[in-house]
Amino acid sequence: MNMHHFSYRHFFLACFSSFRQAALFAALMLAVVLSGCAGRLAGESYVRNPLLEQWAVAAIAKDAVVKLASIYPPGHTRIELVYPVDQNDKRVEDAFSATLEDGLRKYGFTISPQANLRLAWTLDALPEEKEEAIDPLFQKEDNAGAAIERVKRGKKKKRGKKNPEKIIPAEPAPVRITPKGPAWYLRLKLADTDRFELRTLTRVYSADGLPMAGFAESQN
């Protein structure tokens, strides 16, 4: 009777040990899968080359750091940076990525490859709007019609009063000087591996690095 009790006891202990090992293995595999998914969610980083002027790049990078600091507390947040890479998965050095990293460190963020918060970014130029092409034939016809109209108006003026009233020219409207070049946009993607969340921040800038609108934000 004691022998049977001893055998059953060892049997249940062995089953419990096997179940525990299987549970630990499943938890480990789940952690690996979730980590990989979060990495894919963060995506890859891309910075257009050639870039803007250095001072414009610095202004955009500073704006990004200030925005991140308003969401995640500096000094208590660790971030893994997903740098741009080439076809051979080698890091591509660029002024924006370096300025962004430096700004995050100065604000008090900890940059670590083991962080649960992954940050990827895209800095690229928006496509410029092209003017509609005008058929040269129609353009010539329009020019000819405008010339005929001017001749008619000139004849009417001669038949009118000899001393027409003086026309005071209006003051020229103020000219707003805008920076040359297309607008640029910055997209920040943050993947939180603990909460399994993806946050995207996007903002458009002029060619001199000034924001043209607020941040557009989405969260999944």
pLDDT interval class at 195 (50, 70, 90): confident
Answer yes or no: is 80 within a domain. yes
How do residues 17-35 score in pLDDT, each as one tens digit? 554 454 434 433 433 333 3
Answer yes or no: is 25 within a domain. no
For position 39, what pLDDT does the model report?
38
How do residues 62-90 score in pLDDT, each as one tens digit? 999 999 999 999 999 999 999 999 999 99
Mean pLDDT of 91-112: 97
Range of the domain at 67: 38-126+180-219
For position 12, what pLDDT does the model report?
52
Distances (CA, A) of 192 to 82, 101, 116: 13, 18, 6
DSSP-assigned beta bridge partners for residue 198: 191
For position 177, what pLDDT does the model report?
46
Mean pLDDT of 45-56: 94
**Dihedral over alpha carbons 44, 50, 54, 58 (to 10 degrees):** -20
Answer yes or no: is 89 within a domain. yes
Answer yes or no: is 5 within a domain. no
Buried b (16+ CB within 10 A) or exposed e, 60-98: bbbbbbebbbeebeeeebebbbbbbeeeeeeeeebbbbe
How do residues 115-164 score in pLDDT, each as one tens digit? 999 999 999 999 876 655 555 554 555 555 565 566 566 655 555 555 55
Answer yes or no: is 197 within a domain. yes
Strand 184-192 versus strand 117-125 pairing type: antiparallel
| pTM exceeds 0.75 for this model | no
Residue 124 neighbours by CB under 8 Å, 6+ apart: 46, 47, 48, 184, 185
110: three-class secondary structure by DSSP: strand
For position 181, what pLDDT does the model report?
82
Number of structural domains (the chain) is 1
Answer yes or no: is 94 within a domain. yes
Answer yes or no: is 77 within a domain. yes
Answer yes or no: is 93 within a domain. yes
